[in-house]
């Protein structure tokens, strides 16, 4: 039964934009409150779909946050409109401001629309992305360079007394947190090309995905669902209960 602590927490208000590292998160049936509740849309094959860093890496340079609803103070059922800051950090706009759409269109060089859905717009609805610090360290050692955790857009990073990569076999296990929150692990997360983009420079690093595919079945991290909602705090204890 691996045990440890919650080492880091992140929330990503806008799909494919930079997010915010926090001291606490609110978790509920939809996942992390306010996580990916906004998306930039583009027209693709006659339909408007979420634009991601796969098609527009420049999105990663934009910063999204809830500056007046920090940490777990956000209501998961009714998250506020995100505040979005342009890459140079000079100007910010509240989501829905037509000036934000215009600024995005100029920077991304394409027509866009802005969508907001308080239930969330993740690739896998209702999930929380969990990673393990030991596996991140092992991946860095395998590749011979530090791998930034932000590449994987995780929500909860855990520090555990488990062997690196052991979590990839934990499907069906539960994550029990000190404060009473419980998550059930669905399965390992198969990674797409988004982690190959540096979160600061947007430079592409295809070797990362090739390595994951060759050595780890292209998996990194876990997708889990909330069984008992509540607040999670950085530093609180955690244990994994395997079937």
| Average pLDDT over the chain, rounded to an integer | 96
The encoded tokens of residue 158 equal 């855990």
pLDDT band at 76; cut points 50, 70, 90 = confident
Quick: pLDDT tens for 122-156.
889 999 999 999 999 999 999 999 999 999 999 99
Q: Bridge-partner residues for 178, per DSSP?
A: none
The encoded tokens of residue 66 equal 């809830």
Determine the average pLDDT of the residues in 73-100: 94
In the chain, domain spans: 3-13+124-241, 37-116
Give dist(CA 32, CA 127) in Å, integer: 8
Give dist(CA 50, CA 94) in Å, integer: 19
pLDDT band at 45; cut points 50, 70, 90 = confident
How far lies 131's CA from each of 29, 151, 189, 223, in Å?
A: 19, 11, 9, 9
pLDDT at 80 over 90: yes
Return the CATH class of domain 3-13+124-241: mainly beta
Give dist(CA 200, CA 62) in Å, integer: 10
For the chain, percent of residues with pLDDT exceeding 90 = 90
- Tell me which of 222 and 72 has the higher pLDDT: 222
């Amino acid at each position: 039964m691996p045990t440890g602590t919650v080492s880091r927490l992140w929330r990503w208000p806008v799909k494919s934009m930079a997010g915010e590292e926090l001291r606490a998160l609110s978790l509920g049936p939809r996942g992390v409150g306010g996580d990916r509740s906004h998306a930039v849309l583009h027209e693709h094959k006659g339909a408007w779909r979420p634009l991601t860093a796969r098609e527009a890496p420049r999105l990663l340079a934009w910063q999204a946050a809830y500056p007046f609803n920090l940490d777990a103070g956000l209501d998961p059922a009714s998250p506020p409109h995100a505040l979005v800051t342009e890459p140079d950090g000079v100007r910010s706009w509240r989501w829905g401001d037509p000036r934000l759409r215009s600024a995005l269109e100029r920077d991304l060089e394409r027509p866009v629309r802005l969508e907001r859905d308080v239930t969330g717009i993740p690739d896998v609805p209702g999930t929380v992305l969990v990673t393990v610090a030991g596996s991140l360290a092992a991946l860095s050692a395998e590749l011979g360079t530090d791998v930034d955790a932000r590449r994987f857009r995780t929500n909860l990073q855990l520090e555990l007394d488990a062997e690196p990569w052991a979590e990839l076999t934990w499907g069906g296990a539960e994550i029990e947190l000190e404060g009473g929150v419980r998550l059930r692990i669905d399965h390992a997360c198969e990674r797409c090309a988004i982690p190959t983009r540096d979160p600061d420079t947007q430079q592409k690093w295809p070797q990362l995905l090739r390595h994951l595919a060759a050595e780890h079945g292209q998996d990194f991290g876990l997708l889990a669902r909330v069984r008992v909602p509540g607040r999670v705090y950085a530093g609180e204890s955690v244990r994994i209960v395997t079937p």
